[in-house]
Amino acid sequence: MMARSQTSPDASHAARCLQAGNLDEAERICRRLLKRNKKDVNAAQVLGSVALARGKYEDAAGQFRTCVRLSPRIAGLRFLYGKACSMLGRYDEAIACFDEGLRLKPGDRLCCSWKAGAFERLGDYDAAREVLQPFVDAGTEDADMAELLARVEVHRGNYESAVATAARHLDRPDTGPATAVLLHQVTGRALEKLGEHDRSFEAFRRANEASTGRTFDAVAHLRFVDDLIEAFSETELRGLARAGDHSQRPVFIAGMPRSGTTLVEQIIDAHPAAHGAGELEDIPELARRLQVQLDAYDPYPHCVSELSGTTADALAARYLARLGDLGGDASRVVNKSLENYLHLGLIALLFPGARIIHCRRHPLDTCFSCYMGGILPARAPYVTDLGNLGLVYRQYERLMRHWQRVLDTPMLEIVYEDLVADLEGTSRRMIDFLGLDWDERCLRYYESGRTVLTLSYAQVNKPIYTSAVGRYRRYEKHLGPLKEALARGRPSRPG
């Protein structure tokens, strides 16, 4: 819905483009409108929604902030601004926005749902439940509210209530497929807590079966790993250009999802001289655009052969400037993108002074934790299938062996099980590897009050626990396809 009833035909057309998924056209129209009139609230609203759809939450928040300033009496704009703040992890600010929206439009479902979600992320589960309770009492909760309420109940230890809450909406025709996936996942987690592992696995299986997103192309993935190993071979690396800045500020955490990367980042972030920047997508995005940037014939990764020292310096300088914006005066800034392990060759060229921490965990625990959900299939389409997970894990191992053999960038391997068994010893090794003096606050990482935006947000704000070690054993009889794929390592490829 547009902010004002009086909208120009161009603004309406931009809104239709946004709804149809034509983000480039919507953005082009809105920028033209705002150039003509910088107070065009409808154009700013659509432009903010485009940024939101692209995951550029800071840009979205800026546009919606402008909208609220221009039209402070419109509840929907307060909601959009709060939504963008939530996506950035600025939950207190988001709650204030939703409260303003509710003052303008009492009982607004979206404001209530997102407000409860912000409280859940902050760990204030009683407050989250209090926001949702009126809808439960009136029998008007929708499936999204039920999924959030079930999550809150799991946090509160009310596992049977969580299962019952999810069940109320799982078979309803008005429950959308994306919400059904989340309901199955929270059901699986609650049933696991109840010790009903067969039913729990069935819930996870149904969640993955119902997931929609990109289809995983195993052959293309194998080919990409082959290309990386070829383009960054020991021989090729000797002839590739490198950036000249040996800044030690960039730190990259590499590893499969659910291998302890968030915990490692949280421990480092607790050090006063370090900053955890989260899953920055700068390096994967740079890799995707490199062929065009270099005007090269070959796609990435083979186009790195055309990288010049001047271009490498420019690309590195841009990223280092961003670290300055994110980390302030921190001497180490950590990037834990899920794709880092794929791009360690490029990272070595651009940041010769960087440090790499490789997180490793038992393959069955890693893969099953991915299968349990929370990772968007659109980002990692292999997570919904045990066989694909095994294939990707073995290719990850193969690629990491290659990087460890050919790269001269300092790399420290952290085993999740060792970190859990000896938090202080392993943490001291990490901090020493980064060239920092030891600080006891690293052992109290869960007291930092830092907002974590990844799937592990609840776990890493608690003291270390061991229950996730060997978790796969409770489900072992269901993991045949995963074990087979891990044993095969590499399937045959057509041709």
DSSP conformation class of 379: T
Residue 214: per-residue pLDDT = 76
Residue 495: per-residue pLDDT = 27
Place of tokens 């069955």: 364
Q: ∠ at Cα 85 (82, 91), nearest 5°?
A: 90
Instruction: Name the nearest CA neighbour of 43 among 66, 69, 76.
Output: 66
Domain spans, the chain: 218-488
Residue 165: per-residue pLDDT = 94
pTM of the model: 0.86
Residue 35 CA to residue 246 CA, distance in Å, equals 41
Structure tokens at 60: 């979205």
Gap between the terminal Cα atoms of the chain: 52
Tell me the chain's radius of gyration from C-alpha atoms.
24
Residue 78 CA to residue 67 CA, distance in Å, equals 9
Residue 494: per-residue pLDDT = 34
Give me the tens of pLDDT residue by residue for the chain, a chain 495 residues long: 555 545 567 889 999 999 998 999 999 999 999 999 999 999 999 999 999 998 889 999 999 999 999 999 999 999 999 999 999 999 999 999 999 999 999 999 999 999 999 999 999 999 999 999 999 999 899 999 999 999 999 999 999 999 999 999 998 888 998 899 999 999 999 999 999 999 999 999 999 998 877 789 999 999 999 999 999 999 999 999 999 999 999 999 999 999 999 999 999 999 999 999 999 999 999 999 999 999 999 999 999 999 999 999 999 999 999 999 999 999 999 999 999 999 999 999 999 999 999 999 999 999 999 999 878 777 889 999 999 999 999 999 999 999 999 999 999 999 999 999 999 999 999 999 999 999 999 999 988 766 655 554 555 556 777 778 999 999 999 999 999 999 985 544 332
- 271's enclosing H/E stretch is none
Classify strands 411-415 and 355-360 as parallel, antiparallel or unpaired. parallel
Amino acid found at 259: S
User: What fold does the segment set 218-488 form as a domain?
Assistant: Rossmann fold (3.40.50)
Sequence-distant (≥ 6) Cβ neighbours of residue 121 within 8 angstroms: 86, 89, 91, 451, 457
Instruction: Name the nearest CA neighbour of 392 among 316, 491, 281, 304.
Output: 491
